[in-house]
Structure 1
Amino acid sequence: MTVYTVGELLRHWRQRRGISQLDLSIAADISARHVSLVETGKSRPSATMILRLADHLHVPLRDRNRLLLAGGFAPRYAERPLADNALSAVSDAIHRVLRAHEPYPAVVFDRRWNIVMTNRAVDPFFARVAPDLLRPPVNLVRLGLDPRGFAPMVVNLADVRAVFRARISRQLAAAPDPELTALYEELLAPEPENPPGPRVENDVVIPMIIRIGGRELRLFSTITTFGTPMDITVDEIAIESYYPADAESAAYFTRDP
């Protein structure tokens, strides 16, 4: 296993972000010479300096801990399960968001797209997939694209696959992850040579069209993340909330059971 110095890791993140030493020095309010000395190992940065540079490079919290360890410092950010008492306020906030979004579906997933929580509106959709796909960890990408999952219900599957591909590609470009790369290669690669154009109902969003119970539901989604997190778990989770794209779809969810 290759061991990298803190300077090498910082240079890696700077180059990944496409930022010059001069641009980073201006943003972090230090000299370009100091940035160069840190990257070449000729100057040992303090923990404060490491975190300042990491902040301007938008380094994820998990990788900030690695930078600190490489620099000889203790990790700064904890990684606790959502059930931990320390995250009770966060967990409560997530449950409130999920409940408030009903009767429309919403899911919470981690950086590898494993589902962490859902609201009750998701249950009817889960009832239509193969039981083995619902054994933890339940992966949202696999669930959406597997023929035994949601795939047979999704009318515009090519569009949905393209959205997954674009989102995970951006995610990997921002922060590499071997498991996420494996998921991408399993379900989303290779890219089609002539991808079909999206069947857009309007010029605002690409809807996901689901056929269920003899009806076609058109849904679009929004993503919610936590601002300024100090815990790795909180930094890496997202809430995806689905909304009806037309009156007919809204009526399906608001009808009497």
Structure 2
Amino acid sequence: MTTAAAAHRPVGELLREWRDRRRISQLDLSISAEISARHLSFVETGRSAPSRDMVLRLGEHLDVPLRERNQLLLAAGYAPVYGETSLTAPDFAPAMHAVRRLLAGHDPYPAVVVDRRWNLVEANAGAGLLTEGVHADLALAPVNVLRLTLHPRGMAPRIVNLGEWRAHLLGRLRREVAATADPWLGDLLAELRGYPCEQPVPEVEVPAPGDILVPLRLRHATGELAFLSTVATFGTPLDVTLAELSIESFFPADPATAAFLGGVPGGADPAGSR
């Protein structure tokens, strides 16, 4: 939903949509937000105009993303309170410095930073291992990491467990579409679902005996490499841009991959100290 579209819809209607999306009853929301159910009903139906603080409180209790909380404020007739700082702005420098230190410190293991639409923001040198052999068109800015991964001219031919990894990524994206109501992400999900995949794509990720996570298994000239991944975000963002950054870090999922990469970041023994 665009900011302009949200601003032309009643704030009560938007709040009700978010409450329905979160599958929270009026009573439960009124209890958690510490307002009367009657007043909440009046806000949703337009019989009462919420204060600025009320909009912010309801947005927080509904876990509305910061970008969309600004839209709620605009729809209610208030100015946005959450800034959207450029990645190159001086005020953003400490955050980007922290991001780049994390990326550099993670080498030689791959790590990438993406924005809310999975466009690449930063990557470390180790990330080049993941993108070997992708078509040049997919590497043109802005690089969409999901498209690069699942496109038949991207990483897909090198992914040994493509069906499994595809199901994992599509599941993450599907949950983000539900969480953010971003139609652009919905279009991306539809595009990715249309990519060919010769392997079966499970609807539900069911572990095989001994499995604890879905690894990324890549074909490589030296043999198969296996990675597990973690995702990190900033813990206390008050800026839209910062809130929407995600850092995905890949670690070896088996001793052979650890040996190929030459150990963990910092030069420690990949098996750990004993």
Match of 1:83 in 2: 88
Q: Deviations over 1:182-221 (max 9, x none)?
A: 11111125999x7457785832111110011131011110
Structure-1 separation of matches of 2:209 and 2:126: 24
Q: Which moved more, 1:246-255 or 1:200-209?
A: 200-209
Q: Decide whether the 8 Å contact of 1:7 with 1:41 is kept in 2.
A: yes
Q: Does 1:95 align with 2:100?
A: yes
Alignment identity in percent?
Answer: 49
Match of 1:207 in 2: 215
Q: Does 1:149 align with 2:151?
A: no
Q: How does 1:1-257 map to 2 (within 5 A)?
A: 3-189=8-194, 195-196=201-202, 200=208, 202-254=210-262
Describe the SS at the equivalent of 1:212.
coil
Q: Which moved more, 1:183-192 or 1:236-245?
A: 183-192
Q: Post-superposition shift, 1:129?
A: 1.3
Structure 1: 5+ residue runs without aligned partners? none
Q: Deviations over 1:144-195 (max 9, x none)?
A: 1112211111101101110111101111111111221111111125999x74
Q: Decide whether the 8 Å contact of 1:208 with 1:220 is kept in 2.
A: yes
Aligned residues: 254
Describe the SS at the equivalent of 1:242.
strand
Q: Decide whether the 8 Å contact of 2:67 with 2:240 is kept in 1.
A: yes
Structure-2 separation of matches of 1:208 and 1:25: 43
Equivalent residue letter for 2:246 = A
Q: Decide whether the 8 Å contact of 2:65 with 2:180 is kept in 1.
A: yes
Equivalent residue letter for 1:125 = L
Describe the SS at the equivalent of 1:168.
helix
Q: Which moved more, 1:52-61 or 1:221-230?
A: 221-230
Equivalent residue letter for 1:41 = G
Q: Decide whether the 8 Å contact of 2:164 with 2:201 is kept in 1.
A: no
Q: Decide whether the 8 Å contact of 1:225 with 1:237 is kept in 2.
A: yes
Structure 2: 5+ residue runs without aligned partners? 264-274
Q: Decide whether the 8 Å contact of 2:110 with 2:130 is kept in 1.
A: no
Q: Decide whether the 8 Å contact of 2:70 with 2:82 is kept in 1.
A: yes
Structure-1 separation of matches of 2:210 and 2:253: 10
Q: Decide whether the 8 Å contact of 1:200 with 1:206 is kept in 2.
A: no
Deviation above 4 Å: which 4+ runs of structure 1?
189-192, 196-201
Q: Deviations over 1:81-113 (max 9, x none)?
A: 221111111111111111111110000011111
| Root mean square deviation of aligned Cα | 2.0
Q: Decide whether the 8 Å contact of 2:56 with 2:69 is kept in 1.
A: yes
Q: Decide whether the 8 Å contact of 2:148 with 2:155 is kept in 1.
A: yes
Structure-1 separation of matches of 2:99 and 2:253: 24
Q: TM-score when scaled to structure 2?
A: 0.87
Q: TM-score when scaled to structure 1?
A: 0.93
